[in-house]
Amino acid sequence: MNSTRPGHGRLHSRTIRIGDSAFPYVFGDDCAGEIADGLAQLNADLLIFVTDDRLRELYPEVPARLSGRTPHLVLTHPVGESMKTMTCLTSHLDTALRAGATRRSVVVSFGGGVPGNLAGLMASLLFRGARLVHIPTTTIAAMDSVLSLKQAINTPVGKNGLGTYYAPTAVYTDVRFFGTLPVRELRSGLCEMAKNCLAIRPDAIPGLRAVIAGGDLAAPAALHWLLEASITAKTEVTRDDTYERRRGLVLEYGHTAGHAIELCDHRARGAAGLSHGAAIAVGMLVAAHISHARGWLSDDAVSLHYELVTGLGVEPYLPRTVRPEDVLRVAADDNKRGYLDPDPDALPFVLLRAPGRPAMTEGLPLVPVSTAELRAALEVVARGSAETATANIHQRAGR
Ligand X SMILES: NC(=O)c1ccc[n+]([C@@H]2O[C@H](COP(=O)([O-])OP(=O)(O)OC[C@H]3O[C@@H](n4cnc5c(N)ncnc54)[C@H](O)[C@@H]3O)[C@@H](O)[C@H]2O)c1
Where in the chain does DSSP place strands (E)?
11-18, 21-28, 47-50, 72-75, 106-111, 131-136, 150-155, 158-165, 170-174, 346-349, 352-354, 357-358, 367-370
Quick check: helix, strand or coil at residue 65? helix
Which residue(s) pair with 25 in the sheet?
14, 171
Query: Of the residues 192, 244, 252, 307, which is catalytic?
Result: 252
Residues of this chain that bind ligand X (CB under 6 A): 52, 54-55, 58, 79-81, 84, 111-115, 117, 137-138, 140-141, 144-145, 148, 150, 160, 177-178, 180-181, 185, 188, 276
CB of 201 to ligand X, least distance (A): 18
Whether residue 234 lies in the annotated active site: no
371: left (phi over 0), alpha (psi -120 to 50) or beta: alpha
Question: Is the CB of 141 or the CB of 211 nearer to ligand X?
Answer: 141
* Cα–Cα distance, 384 to 387 (Å, whole number): 7
Query: Count H helices, E strands: the chain?
Result: 15, 13
Question: Is the CB of 75 or the CB of 141 nearer to ligand X?
Answer: 141
Query: Of the residues 81, 150, 159, 228, which is catalytic?
Result: 150
Question: Is the CB of 58 or the CB of 86 nearer to ligand X?
Answer: 58
Question: Is the CB of 106 or the CB of 114 nearer to ligand X?
Answer: 114
CB of 3 to ligand X, least distance (A): 23
Question: Is the CB of 54 or the CB of 353 nearer to ligand X?
Answer: 54
Residue type, 234: K
CA angle centred on 287, ends 286 and 293, rounded to 5°: 90
CB of 80 to ligand X, least distance (A): 6
Whether residue 195 lies in the annotated active site: no
* Cα–Cα distance, 206 to 252 (Å, whole number): 22
CB of 148 to ligand X, least distance (A): 3
Active site residues: 150, 252
